[in-house]
């Protein structure tokens, strides 16, 4: 799945040439960068909180204006009307993750959605109660899983099967995941993987894992917090039962932005699935008849609980329009080059100074590299901050650097590694 091979060169002139040839270079102008001194930061943190698209403020203010001018009539007369505000967002989001529009809905936030999806897709029985997940899953996912397990009367320590790398290794081997499925498959109710793993940057083969899990009769869900807007996903074809993600990381929806949910088509008309419903998930045709019995809307919309927050949606709209213009295949092609270039420059740093934990195969990673440093990582982070370089630090020694293809440049990557190099040699 890797893009065309590029022969990287160490000099700054190469970075400038790559930027000049980059068909997506103008998207950088669509974003607001945090200030640093008289200029702006070199921001490598799009995997944590994406930057603000210039248009976001305009769209948010327009929604505020509609509310002021129209009051409740904004539902029908806003531009766009609030009743339909979520429809194009769902369609745009579906394009980002490779799903059919009816399979995707934008609602709530990630952890809430993970709970809601587990209500529908984690239905343990005494014979099949287990959950297979990464030992290093994001804490919120671990808390949610343990609570759902307890909710059904099972003990997490006997029910959750943690997948860990082999001793001395940093990432999971694909064959070990398949082997765990072979070994425990008949007891597993749900396979839940974070794709991309937030800590190591490892991406999994979603299609192969889903196929293997389905052969064993398990349900499969993915947490795509670090994949949505990063990897080129094909959720419909790969076929997991559900996926959840947030849109404040690579999707630039703003702090606390609405999350996304995918439910595979095969489940959309199954009225027997348990769910925690609300009035906004009722079929639109009968919603306002206010009947006592819930009639789910066809599609993932049938899982929506509440009337949606328009102001949050307005901010997200600005970013999703950019994804539609840039397209995921083009973004991914640039991303593989950008991250490959970062790896190339990191490899040239003095021996023993830094080691990347992230797989070297571009097909097994997204934009970010997790870098483990030996030489006083805390002081190095301070050096980076003083230079206006913003990346993420995981105590005690890991820096995660994410060059994101929408707004980072090859020159950004070159500048970042130049500062590391000066520190390594200083
Ligand atoms: C960022 C992230 C979350 C955060 O959850 P919220 O409910 O959006 O606060 C959860 N899981 C993973 C894997 C993440 O990367």
CA 62 – ligand 1 centroid, Å: 29
- pLDDT tens-digit readout, 205-253: 999 999 999 999 999 999 999 999 999 999 999 999 999 999 999 999 9
Please check the confidence at residue 409 and state whether its pLDDT lies above 60. Answer: yes
Do 360 and 307 fall into the same domain?
no
Task: Determine the distance from the C-alpha atom of residue 10 to the mean position of all C-alpha atoms in its chain, rounded to a whole number.
Answer: 31
Of the residues 298, 324, 350, which one is the last residue of a structural domain? 324
Do 188 and 269 fall into the same domain?
yes
Q: Tell me, using a 6 A CB cutoff, whether residue 246 lines ligand 1.
A: yes
Query: Could you report how far apart the first and last alpha carbons of the chain are, in Å?
Result: 39
Please check the confidence at residue 1 and state whether its pLDDT lies above 50. Answer: no
The domain in which residue 402 lies consists of: 12-32+327-425
Q: Tell me, using a 6 A CB cutoff, whether residue 230 lines ligand 1.
A: no
Q: Tell me, using a 6 A CB cutoff, whether residue 110 lines ligand 1.
A: yes
CATH code of 404's domain: 3.90.1150.10
Q: Which of 268, 309, 232 is CA-nearest to residue 102? A: 268
- In this structure, of 13-22, 270-279, 404-413, the range with the lowest mean pLDDT score is 270-279
Quick check: 40 and 408 in contact, CB under 8 A? no
pLDDT at 375: 87
pLDDT at 184: 97
Do 252 and 392 fall into the same domain?
no
- In this structure, of 162-176, 254-268, 368-382, the range with the lowest mean pLDDT score is 368-382
pLDDT at 271: 81
Quick check: 193 and 222 in contact, CB under 8 A? yes
Of the residues 306, 324, 342, which one is the last residue of a structural domain? 324
Q: Which of 252, 256, 227, 321 is CA-nearest to residue 50? A: 252
Ligand 1 site-directed mutation target among 46, 106, 111, most atoms within 8 Å of CB: 111
Q: How far apart are CA 12 and CA 9, in angstroms?
A: 8
pLDDT at 279: 94
pLDDT at 4: 58
Measured from the Cα of 249, ligand 1's closest atom is: 1
Residues near 179 by beta carbon (within 8 Å), at least 6 away in sequence:
none
pLDDT at 397: 92
Do 354 and 255 fall into the same domain?
no
CATH code of 192's domain: 3.40.640.10
Measured from the Cα of 111, ligand 1's closest atom is: 7
How many domains does the structure of the chain reveal?
2
CA 225 – ligand 1 centroid, Å: 6
CA 156 – ligand 1 centroid, Å: 20
Query: What residue numbers does the annotated binding site for pyridoxal 5'-phosphate cover?
Result: 110-111, 138-141, 223, 226, 248, 279, 307
Q: Tell me, using a 6 A CB cutoff, whether residue 226 lines ligand 1.
A: yes
Do 386 and 401 fall into the same domain?
yes
The band of 274, judged by pLDDT with boundaries at 50, 70 and 90, is: very high
Q: How far apart are CA 253 and CA 321, in angstroms?
A: 11
pLDDT at 291: 87
Do 306 and 334 fall into the same domain?
no
Residues near 20 by beta carbon (within 8 Å), at least 6 away in sequence:
none
Q: Would residue 351 count as lying in a domain?
A: yes
CA 357 – ligand 1 centroid, Å: 21
Rounded mean pLDDT of 251-265?
A: 98
Do 389 and 242 fall into the same domain?
no
Q: Tell me, using a 6 A CB cutoff, whether residue 192 lines ligand 1.
A: no
Dihedral sign of CA atoms 222, 206, 401, 253 in order: negative
Measured from the Cα of 259, ligand 1's closest atom is: 8
Rounded mean pLDDT of 188-195?
A: 97
Apex 347 CA angle, 342 and 351, nearest 5: 145
**pTM score, whole prediction:** 0.96
> Checking phi first, is residue 393 left (phi over 0); if not, alpha (psi -120 to 50) or beta?
beta
Please check the confidence at residue 183 and state whether its pLDDT lies above 50. Answer: yes
* Residue located nearest, by CA, to atom 8 of ligand 1: 110
Ligand 1 site-directed mutation target among 138, 142, 199, 253, most atoms within 8 Å of CB: 138
Apex 408 CA angle, 407 and 414, nearest 5: 165
With a pLDDT cut of 70, the percent of the chain lying above it is 99
Do 353 and 239 fall into the same domain?
no
* Residue located nearest, by CA, to atom 15 of ligand 1: 225
Of the residues 289, 307, 324, which one is the last residue of a structural domain? 324
The band of 426, judged by pLDDT with boundaries at 50, 70 and 90, is: confident
Cα-only R_g, the chain? 22
Average pLDDT, the chain: 96
Ligand 1 site-directed mutation target among 135, 136, 198, most atoms within 8 Å of CB: 198
Please check the confidence at residue 414 and state whether its pLDDT lies above 60. Answer: yes
Please check the confidence at residue 3 and state whether its pLDDT lies above 80. Answer: no
Q: How far apart are CA 426 and CA 421, in angstroms?
A: 8
* Residue located nearest, by CA, to atom 2 of ligand 1: 225
Q: Would residue 56 count as lying in a domain?
A: no
Do 179 and 100 fall into the same domain?
yes
Q: Tell me, using a 6 A CB cutoff, whether residue 223 lines ligand 1.
A: yes
Q: Would residue 202 count as lying in a domain?
A: yes
Do 347 and 261 fall into the same domain?
no
* Residue located nearest, by CA, to atom 13 of ligand 1: 138
Residues near 294 by beta carbon (within 8 Å), at least 6 away in sequence:
277, 281, 282
- pLDDT tens-digit readout, 290-344: 888 999 999 999 999 999 999 999 999 999 999 999 999 999 999 999 999 999 9
- pLDDT tens-digit readout, 105-131: 999 999 999 999 999 999 999 999 999
């Amino acid at each position: 799945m890797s893009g065309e091979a590029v022969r990287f060169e160490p000099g700054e002139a190469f970075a400038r040439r790559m930027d000049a040839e980059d068909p997506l270079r103008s998207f950088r102008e669509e974003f607001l960068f945090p200030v640093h001194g008289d200029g702006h930061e070199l921001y490598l943190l799009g995997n944590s909180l994406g930057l603000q698209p210039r248009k976001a403020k305009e769209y948010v203010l327009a929604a505020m204006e509609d509310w002021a001018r129209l009051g409740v009539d904004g539902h029908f007369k806003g531009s766009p009307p609030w009743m339909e505000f979520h429809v194009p967002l769902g369609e745009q989001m579906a394009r980002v993750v490779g799903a059919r529009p009816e399979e995707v809905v934008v609602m709530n936030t990630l952890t809430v959605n993970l709970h809601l999806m587990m209500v529908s897709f984690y239905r343990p029985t005494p014979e099949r109660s287990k959950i297979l997940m990464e030992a290093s899953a994001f804490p919120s996912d671990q808390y949610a899983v343990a609570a759902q397990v307890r909710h059904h009367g099972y003990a997490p320590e006997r029910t959750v099967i943690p997948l860990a790398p082999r001793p001395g290794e940093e990432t999971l081997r694909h064959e070990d995941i398949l082997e765990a499925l072979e070994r425990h498959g008949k007891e597993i109710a749900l396979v839940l993987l974070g794709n991309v793993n937030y800590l190591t940057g490892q991406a999994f083969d979603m299609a192969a894992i889903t196929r293997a899990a389905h052969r064993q009769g398990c349900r499969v869900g993915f947490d795509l917090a670090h994949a949505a807007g990063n990897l080129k996903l094909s959720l419909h074809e790969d076929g997991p039962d559900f996926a959840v993600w947030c849109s404040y990381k690579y999707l630039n929806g703003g702090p606390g932005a609405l999350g996304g949910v995918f439910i595979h088509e095969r489940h959309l008309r199954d009225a027997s699935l348990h769910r925690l419903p609300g009035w906004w998930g009722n079929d639109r045709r009968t919603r306002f008849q206010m009947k006592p019995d819930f009639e789910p809307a066809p599609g993932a919309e049938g899982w929506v609980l509440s009337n949606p927050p328009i102001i949050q949606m307005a901010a997200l709209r600005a970013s999703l329009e950019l994804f539609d213009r840039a397209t995921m295949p083009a973004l991914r092609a640039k991303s593989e080059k950008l991250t490959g270039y970062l790896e190339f420059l990191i490899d040239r740093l003095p021996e023993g100074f830094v080691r990347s934990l992230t797989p070297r195969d571009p097909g097994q990673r997204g934009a970010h590299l997790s870098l483990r440093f030996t030489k006083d990582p805390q002081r190095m982070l301070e050096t980076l901050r003083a230079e206006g370089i913003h990346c993420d630090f995981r105590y005690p020694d890991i820096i995660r650097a994410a060059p994101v293809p929408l707004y980072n440049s090859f020159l950004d990557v070159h500048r970042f590694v130049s500062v590391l190099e000066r520190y390594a040699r200083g």
